[in-house]
Structure 1
Amino acid sequence: MKTITLIMTGASGAQYGLRLLECLLKAGCQVYLLLSRPAQVVINMETEHRLPGRASEIQHYFSQLHGAQPGQLQVFEREQWTAPIASGSAVAEATVVCPCTTGTLSAIACGSSRNLIERAVDVALKERKKLILVVRETPFSEIHLENMLKLARMGVIIMPANPGFYQRPASVQELVDFMVARVLDHLDIPQTLLPRWGQEQAEPQDF
């Protein structure tokens, strides 16, 4: 059973992180979940979810919603320094920040560890674990691009939330699933959300 740390920050695109959480739990992964305060605000704005305030209550909410096994999902407070992900001795196999604000991107690039979110990512970096950042911003400034380049050179996977359209999405959910499928691919978790390129016969087009 893979152990994945999922971090949601306050960028628009809460649907990406929530759908990824659902898929990780259904795939049988052990999930450590961290939510920034702005992330909770955005979730309430962009989705039908109305999350409670405490980590333990959020853990119960999502565990019940997705039928998680006991202990499969653990939600930590932002200052919970005793959480396993605060130490390299118990770091998850992979960490995903989805969605990732450019503020969080900056903190990661600078090695900041002011809260558990930043510390968890810093641990993933120092332990050479897989780290995926689903950055959600447009346009990118030179600062954003420099931060992404710096992290990419360290082996971080930079995956801006840019869903494709070649599969002819008919709903917002299909656009969300496109990005979530790409994240799952990079986590080496089997998925059927998105057909592989070339697996579906395209209809002839007139140009």
Structure 2
Amino acid sequence: MSRVVLGVSGASGAMLARDCAAGLSRLGVEIDLVCSPMAARTFELELGPDALAHLTAKVARRHTPDDLGATIASGSHPVHGMIIAPCSMRTLAAIAHGLDDNLLTRAAGVQLKERRPLILLTREAPLTLAHLRNMTAVTEMGAIVLPPVPAFYLKPQSVGEISAQIAARAIDLLQIGPAQAQAWSG
């Protein structure tokens, strides 16, 4: 069974984390979850008071961000990779500069040092030069920056369809099972 770390930062886009967890669960992937304090607040604001509890019910383990002794803080603990959905610019900057100051950024740093997939669903617009440079830095380190941009050519009918497609693309980038995202058919 594959294990994946799902990180959730406080940027807008809680439904992206929800949809990543649902997609990973459908594949039978064991999920280790770590949420920043602002992620919990954003979940409640965007999806309702019970949304984070529903997400937590889909995971094997939930780690607190201050638990730097958690298994996912070590490269010797085998996981297939990590998705951070959504990824705030603060979290991106910390990863880009090696600031492993909480479990979310430490687990991301572990993926990079172990050469495992790290998928960042970065959320901000417009982007500053600092954001762009941080995106370049993490890309040079081996991460994949996947801004949650809709695939308009698929003619989505709802925000939910858009989020599910973006989550599926992130999961596909981990290469842990059959393709989940709807492909362009020409």
- Which interval holds the TM-score relative to the shorter structure? over 0.9
In the alignment, what sits opposite 2:34? 34
- The partner residue of 1:190 within 174, 178, 181 is 178
In the alignment, what sits opposite 1:80? 67
* Paired residues of 2:5 and 2:79 also in contact (CA < 8 A): yes
Aligned residues: 185
Equivalent-residue separation in structure 1 for 2:100 and 2:78 (angstroms): 15
Equivalent-residue separation in structure 1 for 2:170 and 2:105 (angstroms): 20
Matched, 1:110 2:86: no
- Give 1:51 deviation, angstroms: 5.6
Query: Residue type of the partner of 1:143?
Result: A
Q: Sequence identity, in percent?
A: 34
In the alignment, what sits opposite 2:21? 21
Seen in structure 2, the aligned counterparts of structure 1 residues 47 and 63 have a Cα distance that, compared at 3 Å, is: closer
For structure 2, the residue ranges without an aligned partner over 5 or more in a row are none
Q: Cα RMSD between the aligned structures?
A: 1.7
Q: TM-score with structure 2 length normalisation? A: 0.92
Cα deviation code 1:43-84 (max 9, x no counterpart): 0011134367xxxxx5xx5465x5xxxxx6110111223311
RCO comparison, higher one (Cα < 8 Å, 6+): 2
Matched, 1:174 2:161: yes
Q: TM-score with structure 1 length normalisation? A: 0.83
Equivalent-residue separation in structure 2 for 1:87 and 1:28 (angstroms): 23
- Give 1:92 deviation, angstroms: 1.6
Seen in structure 2, the aligned counterparts of structure 1 residues 132 and 63 have a Cα distance that, compared at 3 Å, is: closer
Matched, 1:164 2:151: yes
Equivalent-residue separation in structure 2 for 1:90 and 1:106 (angstroms): 25
Equivalent-residue separation in structure 1 for 2:25 and 2:38 (angstroms): 23
Q: SS where residue 76 of structure 2 aligns?
A: helix
- Give 1:28 deviation, angstroms: 0.5
* Paired residues of 2:18 and 2:55 also in contact (CA < 8 A): no
* Paired residues of 2:165 and 2:182 also in contact (CA < 8 A): no
Q: Which runs of 4+ in 1 moved over 6 A?
A: none
